[in-house]
């Protein structure tokens, strides 16, 4: 009997292209869950009925397929796990015709949720191979641009990831775009980086609007502040001045809304890590620097910004626990902090999941901007 169960588990896991570690984390097994899963597959022990149910019923079908008859087409660059895509796709008005993401773990999560694998490294993709589209979206890495005796504009962006977006805008001329970046983009390299970006977009013929929004003003309890640059081609969209920045609903938020009711003890930080956090906080305070870790309760209105390095020690967001060390948020809680729907699939290890959600976008903010872009294109 145990052999039959082991075969069932292995077949299911291989069908999902998941490692034992990924499957163990995805169904919520304890710290050394991959060892447990290995024993089940080898027939050395058996899962409970509940554990077996969780494995055999792990979703195989992508929940967020392209809308069939959507009026507008879009390309998703630096796609990550598809947060920006989701914000547009949830309007029901946009279908995605091309996506690009180089990270293989992000590709796996993207494929599980959207049913397609993004093309790889955008620097190796010819613009001619990208289908024509109405909207381009991308959250590109922020790099300083060389100003060595050059004029501001398209040529100055070479060697940066923004150049990849610029060359595709130049070649394909979509009607509109949305670019997302960190708040510090405006002050990066003494403001030169932002200046080059805006002047390049202007050189390419686009009229731009730059906005700064906090995720917590759009109903998710996270103080995530990001820059969003929206652009329209006035030749194709003569009514581009009709674009209105979305008005944040400023719904009251609290951390308890995203917390899971039952959380494994593996998310509670160790005595050693907790002692280190407390020691560093005292040292930082004495030196007048940032004070280190932050603890929130279910009643707190919001958390700090979730970062891609969260997997290391979780210091920016710790949840208080009675008579215990604080704990990290779970990957599912991280997804909720970014406003991802409850049926969004997490098919990777906890470490990769933290990186992916930390690098992603707040879906409700993108969705609000997407609606305003579509109003103009409509």
Query: H helices within the chain, ranges in order?
Result: 2-15, 20-26, 33-41, 49-56, 83-89, 104-114, 161-172, 192-203, 271-286, 310-313, 331-337, 350-359, 363-377
Does residue 285 share a domain with residue 195? no
Does residue 233 share a domain with residue 170? yes
The model carries a pTM of 0.92
Look at the chain and report how many structural domains it folds into: 3
Cβ pair 305, 225 in contact under 8 A: yes
CA distance 144 to 309: 22
CA distance 303 to 215: 10
Does residue 133 share a domain with residue 229? yes
CA distance 347 to 164: 29
CA distance 364 to 378: 21
Q: Does a structural domain hold residue 67?
A: no
Q: Does a structural domain hold residue 85?
A: yes
Does residue 133 share a domain with residue 276? no
CATH classification of the domain holding 267? 3.90.120.10
CA distance 193 to 294: 31
The domain in which residue 12 lies consists of 2-56
**Catalytic residue positions?**
142
Query: Strands 176-182 and 225-232, how do they pair?
Result: antiparallel
pLDDT, one tens digit for every residue, the chain (378 residues): 455 999 999 999 999 999 999 999 999 999 899 999 999 999 999 999 999 999 999 999 999 999 989 999 999 999 999 999 999 999 999 999 999 999 999 999 999 999 999 998 999 999 999 999 999 999 988 777 665 445 566 666 777 889 999 999 999 999 999 999 999 889 888 888 899 899 999 999 999 999 999 999 999 999 999 999 999 999 999 999 999 999 999 999 999 999 999 999 999 999 999 999 998 888 877 777 766 789 999 999 999 999 999 998 888 999 999 999 999 999 999 999 999 999 999 999 999 999 999 999 999 999 999 999 999 998
Q: Does a structural domain hold residue 300?
A: yes
CA distance 82 to 99: 9
Does residue 317 share a domain with residue 265? yes
């Amino acid at each position: 009997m145990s052999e039959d169960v082991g075969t069932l588990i292995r077949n299911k896991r291989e069908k999902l292209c998941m490692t034992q570690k990924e499957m163990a984390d995805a169904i919520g097994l304890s710290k050394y869950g991959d060892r447990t899963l290995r024993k089940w597959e080898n027939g050395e022990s058996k899962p409970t009925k509940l554990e077996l149910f969780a494995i055999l019923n792990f979703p195989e079908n992508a929940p967020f397929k392209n809308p069939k008859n959507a009026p507008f087409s879009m390309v998703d660059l630096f796609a990550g796990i598809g947060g920006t895509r989701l914000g547009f796709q949830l309007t029901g008005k946009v279908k995605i015709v091309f996506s690009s993401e180089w990270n293989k773990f992000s590709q796996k999560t993207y494929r599980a949720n959207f049913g397609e694998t993004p093309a790889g490294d955008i620097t190796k993709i010819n613009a001619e191979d990208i289908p024509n589209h109405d909207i381009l979206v991308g959250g590109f890495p922020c790099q300083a641009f060389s100003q060595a005796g050059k004029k501001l504009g398209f040529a100055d962006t070479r060697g940066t990831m923004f150049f990849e977006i610029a060359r595709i805008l130049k070649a394909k001329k979509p009607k509109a775009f949305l670019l997302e970046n960190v708040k510090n983009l405006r002050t990066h390299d003494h403001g030169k980086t932002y200046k080059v970006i805006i002047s390049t977009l202007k050189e390419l013929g686009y009229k731009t609007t730059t906005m700064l929004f906090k995720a917590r003003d759009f109903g998710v309890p996270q103080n995530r502040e990001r820059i969003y640059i929206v652009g329209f081609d006035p030749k194709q969209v003569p009514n581009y001045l009709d674009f209105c920045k979305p008005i944040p609903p400023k719904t009251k938020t609290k951390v308890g809304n995203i917390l899971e009711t039952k959380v494994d003890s593996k998310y509670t930080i160790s005595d050693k890590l907790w002692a280190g956090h407390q020691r560093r906080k005292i040292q930082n305070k004495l030196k007048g620097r940032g004070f280190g870790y932050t603890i929130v309760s279910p009643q707190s209105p919001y958390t700090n910004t979730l970062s891609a390095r969260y997997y290391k020690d979780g210091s920016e967001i710790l949840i208080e626990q009675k008579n215990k060390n604080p704990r990290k948020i779970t990957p599912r809680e991280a997804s909720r902090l970014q406003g991802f729907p409850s049926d969004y699939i997490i098919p990777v290890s906890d470490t990769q999941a933290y990186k992916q959600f930390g690098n992603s976008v707040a879906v409700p903010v993108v969705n609000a901007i997407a609606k305003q872009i579509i109003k103009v294109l409509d």
